[in-house]
Structure formats: C-alpha cells, structure tokens
Amino acid sequence: MDTTVPSPQPSASLIGRLRPAHAGDFVFHAVTFVFAFSVLVLIALMLFEMLRGSWLTISRYGLAFVYGTDWNPPVERFGALPFVYGTIVSSGVALVVAVPISIAVALFVTYQAPMALRRPVISVVELLAAIPSVAFGLWGIFVLVPFMRDTVAPPFISALGWMPLFEGPSYGVGMLTSGLILAIMITPIVTAVSRDVLAAVPQHQRDGALALGATQWEAVRVVFQYALPGITGAIILGLARAVGETMAVTMVIGNRADINASLFAPGYSMASVIANEFPEANSKLYMSALIEVGVLLFLVSFGVRALAQLLVWRATRGRSIGREG
C-alpha cells in the first residue's frame, strides 16, 4: 500500500481567498476542528484515566514499582521489573531476527527483484501483517512451541547449556519462542518502512556509485549511509510494535514472573501480564498495579513512536510513512 501523504499545501488557493466569506464556512471549520481535536482529547483522557486508575500503586510504591523484582499479588508485593525484562528480551530477540531479514527483503524489492516480482512480494509481506495476533498465538501454541521444545532446544541445550543464555530445561514456551513469533509479526512493518526510506534516497547516490564501478552491493552500502537514520526509524517502529504486541506473546511466553537469563526459560511481558491477570485482579491494589503496567506501556510506546517518527520524517522529508494497515 502506498502510504505517503503529500506535504501540506495551502488548502485555499488565490480564488479561495478572494471569495466572500460564508457564515456556514465558519461553522463547518469549527465542527471539523472539534472532531480533529477529539483525537488530542482522547489521548489526554486515556492518560488521565489510567493515571487515576493506577494512583494507588504510584503513590504507594513510587519508582520501586519499576525496579522491584518481586511480583506477588496475594501478599501485595508489586515489582514490575520481570515484565519490563521480559518485554525487553522478547522484543530484542525479535529485532535481532527480524531486522536483517526485513532490510534484505526491502533491498530485494527495491533494487534486485525483477519488476514483475516486486508488487507480488510486497503484497505477500503485507498480508503477513493482516493475520491477527491471536491467530499467530494459536499457531505458536500448537506448532512453534512443540517444535521449539522437541527439535530446536535440545541440541542447543546439550551443546551450549553451560552458557546462562541456553541454560535449563526447555518447555517450548519462553522468551525465544515469543521472540520468534514477534519477529514474524514485525517483519512487515520494518520491511515496509525500510522500503519507503530506500525509495526516498535520491537516485543519483546509487547511480554515482554504480558509474564509478561499484558492484550492486557496494552501491547499496553507499545508499545505506544515506538511509541509515530512516532505517533506524523503521527498526524503532518495529520495536514499538513488538513492545505492544499482546495476544501472541501471552500465548507462548509462559507467563511466569521470573527474571531468568536463559532464552528457553518461561517469562512474562508487560502486555501479557495485563492480558492474563487483569480479569482476575481481585483487589483495588492489584488492579491499580496492572493499570500502572499499562501506563508504563503507554509511555514507552509513545516515546518510541515519537523518536521513530522524528527519524523517519527527517529521512523522507515530511512524508508520513509506515503506518500499519
């Protein structure tokens, strides 16, 4: 999908400015403004409601909520670090796997694929983005988890089990499995944004390199220097996606609030603890703690998004790109 927006142009040309003013126009302007403004109101209201809902734990635990490692609702101990850790590790795994593949696919469809293949490949990658999270989770539970447990993990553990990273028994569910599912899920967005960024690199950069006798790969490296800020933006957008992803992760991460160095160990993520425990939160404090995890998630996704947008905007000079669809 072409997701570019032309940069803002004056909406009223000369003829628009010379015509007499209509009262209806003022009303129309005001009405549409109110609705556009509602987006801002909605976000502000969201933040307000969630801060209100989590005020109990914010005021009681302060920052200790974020770095506390013990999550034990029955005795009112709420430390969210295991979830932050799980989110970071599973998203990290996802980036390590998905970023090289996504950039390679973007390069393939931008420079290398035969013309007739480009649209179909782009479409297929976009269709991957359309599969709902819960369907990925279902596939994860019944296909990927057994595959990881029985086929992938045992040789790793027997060969590299001395490393903390691959320690312990493999349950199939865990950090690595959720990281891999996330990798599949963020590949479309990273690919799409990288493609837009590459397309925005002036053709003469590449032509110049090729004219000097560079191979295609060397020309790509030249282009890359130019595209680097935008590609960084693409990666961060992928990260934002991975951080907020809920269902598929909840279904395969194992849902255990431990901090464990092993990639095969079960864990928990910020989004999945909300999904899993919110319906059964039986005290005000417990509910407040889960909403505070939501606030953290909101702030992280807001910050990451702002950073990515800034980088991508710069790289493509004002075109807004890479929204998921």
Partner 1 sequence: MSATAPQYGRGYRWRIALDAAARLATGAAAVLVIAILVIILAYMAYKGVGSLDVAFFTELPKPAGETGGGIVNAIAGSLIMLALAMAISVPVGILAAIYLSEFGTGLFAQILRFLTDVLAGIPSIVVGIFAYTLIVLPMRSFSGLAGGVALAIIMLPVVVRTSEETLRLVPQSLRDAGLAVGAPKWRVTIDVVLASAASGIATGVLLAVSRAMGETAPLLFTALGSTLWTTSLHKPMASIPAQIYSYSISPYDDWHRKAWAAAFTLVLLILALNLAVRYLTRSRHA
**Between residue 59 and residue 98, which ones bind partner 1 under the rule CB under 8 A?**
none
Minimum distance from residue 266 beta carbon to partner 1 (Å): 14
Number of residues that bind partner 1 (CB under 8 A): 103
The whole-angstrom separation of Cα 267 and Cα 253 is 6
Minimum distance from residue 124 beta carbon to partner 1 (Å): 5
List, as one string, the DSSP characters of 24-52: HHHHHHHHHHHHHHHHHHHHHHHHHHHHH
List, as one string, the DSSP characters of 176-237: HHHHHHHHHHHHHHHHHHHHHHHHHS-HHHHHHHHHTT--HHHHHHHHHHHHHHHHHHHHHH
Question: In the window 203-242, what residues touch partner 1 (CB under 8 A)?
Answer: 210, 215-218, 220, 240
Convert residues 144-173 into a mask of x (bound to partner 1 by CB under 8 A) and - (unbound): ------------------------------
Q: Could you give the 3-state DSSP secondary structure of residue 258?
A: coil
Minimum distance from residue 162 beta carbon to partner 1 (Å): 31
**Pick 187 or 262: Cβ nearer partner 1:** 187
Residue from 66, 88, 121, 307 binding partner 1 (CB under 8 A): 121
**Pick 32 or 159: Cβ nearer partner 1:** 32
Residue from 80, 84, 105, 201 binding partner 1 (CB under 8 A): 105
Among residues 324, 325, 283, the alpha carbon closest in space to that of 305 is found at 324
**Pick 256 or 305: Cβ nearer partner 1:** 305
Query: Is 133 among the residues that bind partner 1 (CB under 8 A)?
Result: yes
Query: Is 174 among the residues that bind partner 1 (CB under 8 A)?
Result: no
Residue from 65, 78, 85, 136 binding partner 1 (CB under 8 A): 136
Convert residues 256-275 into a mask of x (bound to partner 1 by CB under 8 A) and - (unbound): ---------------x--xx
The whole-angstrom separation of Cα 88 and Cα 82 is 10
Torsion angle (degrees, nearest 10) of CA 93, 67, 300, 252: 40
**Max Cα-Cα span within the chain:** 81
